[in-house]
Structure 1
Amino acid sequence: MKTRQYLLSLLLYVTYFGISGCTAVQPWERGNLAKPHMALDANALHTSLSQHNYSSREGAAGGNSAEGGGCGCY
């Protein structure tokens, strides 16, 4: 019985803190979130080309496309 109360209170705290972390972003604040240094990948094109080259050289599945033969073609 005590374990059940513990789990229920833990679930309540996790839910409370999860909901309190959500907030509405005002239109004038969205510019701060759109800055380049806030992006997960600063240079997406360079990363994509690097992954393509790596998977082509390895001749194996690179995790983002089909297998290659080592020649760069798919």
Structure 2
Amino acid sequence: MKVTHFIVLFAILLSVSGLSGCVQVAAWERGNLAKPQMALEPTPLQSAIQAHVYGSREAAASINSSGGGGGCGCF
């Protein structure tokens, strides 16, 4: 019976700590969150090109390239 109390207490603490991360963002702070630097991928085109070049030069099959490259190993 003691273990069930521990599990219930742990579940309550976990849910309370999870809810503490939810906050209201003020209107004047939303502009800071919408900046391009805050994006997960700030330069998606440049990252896609670099991934394609890396996949081509290393002769590795990647999502962005349709086949293997030269395989010379130079970068």
**What's the TM-score once normalised by structure 2's chain length?**
0.69
Q: Identify the residue that residue 70 of structure 1 maps to in structure 2.
A: 69
Q: Structure 1 runs of 4+ off > 6 angstroms?
A: none
Unaligned runs of 5+ in 2: 71-75
Unaligned runs of 5+ in 1: none
Q: Identify the residue that residue 7 of structure 1 maps to in structure 2.
A: 7
Q: Distance in 1 between matches of 2:64 and 2:41?
A: 19
* Identity across matched positions, percent: 43
Return the letter of the residue paired with 2:48: S
**What's the TM-score once normalised by structure 1's chain length?**
0.69
Q: Distance in 2 between matches of 1:43 and 1:65?
A: 16
- What number of residue pairs does the alignment pair up? 70
Once superposed, what is the RMSD of the aligned Cα atoms?
2.2
